[in-house]
Amino acid sequence: MATDSRGTAPGTTLQTDILIGHLISVRVMTLWSSEAHRRYQSIGGSNPSDPISSPRTTS
């Protein structure tokens, strides 16, 4: 297999850059989501998936 001047195979650097970019964007979205949730909780919102804080409904 051919290598470039850095000794890496063609395409490897691009794939690595894409992977790193994806990991960074996932981490940023996770941080943003948890911060938004924290702010919502601080203004008195309730988590609908939390059985303790969600209001009981009778049918």
Q: For the segment 28-46, what is each residue's pLDDT rounded down to a tens digit?
A: 888 888 888 888 777 765 5
Q: CA–CA separation, 21 vs 36, rounded Å?
A: 22
Is it the case that residue 1 has pLDDT exceeding 60? no
Residues of the chain by 3-state class (helix, strand, coil), percent to 5? 55, 0, 45
Interval 12-31: pLDDT, tens: 788 889 899 999 999 888 88
Max Cα–Cα distance, the chain, nearest Å:
70
59 or 26, which is more confident?
A: 26
